[in-house]
Structure 1
Amino acid sequence: MDSVFNPLVGGLLIGVATVVYLLSIGKVIGISGIFAQLLFNRDRLYPFLFIAGLVIGGSAYGILTDQTVPFPEARSPFLLIVSGLLVGYGTRLGGGCTSGHGVCGISRLSPRSIAATIIFMLTAIITVSVLH
């Protein structure tokens, strides 16, 4: 039952959060944009609360359900930092992150987001096919 229930509840929560954020803040939800607002805007309260909610919500779920996600094998801190910076640069270059394009862009029927999501998915499929 958890295999159906958890994704359904998670999807509903993402949808509700997206609508509430749009109606209350007037901006489309997307973690790269929210993180940029946290770093570069004067009004940092809402981006901070959103990111804090992600951390607190995920942690609360893990504690309440006694589920943990193991951290992958040790990686070079330098590699992790460079990778994070490249992903951040790519999301800004692409006008948003995969979640922003996939959840908010497609729901608004944005041609740019639909194209971006198709490219993200094709790239993921090709990468998995080549590596496995």
Structure 2
Amino acid sequence: MAGETTGAVRWILRLEGICVLAAAIFFYPAPDFSWGCFALYFLAPDLSLLGYAFGSRVGAVAYNAAHSYAGAIVCLVAGFLFALPVFSCAGVIWCAHIGFDRALGYGLKYPGDFNMTHLGRIGFQSDPR
């Protein structure tokens, strides 16, 4: 599929996800955030999958909005700039989740196929032979 990342670039993007996850885990306890909170909200961005109940286009938009670093970084920065720990906490957890997904190869979704992401196809691939 056009737009699919392959080869070394794909592995670099997955390594980047591991780095973001590691950085988020490293910095998370600095402001005395609770690890229980981290565990509770770590999978919250995956609630965006509910968008697929309204079709693949809506689902892809909802998923991509919840799995883009843009929103997570805005949340994180706003929390630190305005001294709102709940936003800082949410931003770090959100970044950790996205990094985790990218490390596993779950990228941003294309609207036509749930299993096709910018990091390639996800899921089991049967041999076409």
TM over 0.5: no
Larger strand fraction of residues: 2
* TM-score, structure 1 normalization: 0.28
| Larger RCO, structures 1/2 (Cα 8 Å, 6+ apart) | 2
Structure having the higher helix fraction is: 1
Q: TM-score, normalised by structure 2?
A: 0.28
Q: Which has the larger radius of gyration?
A: 1
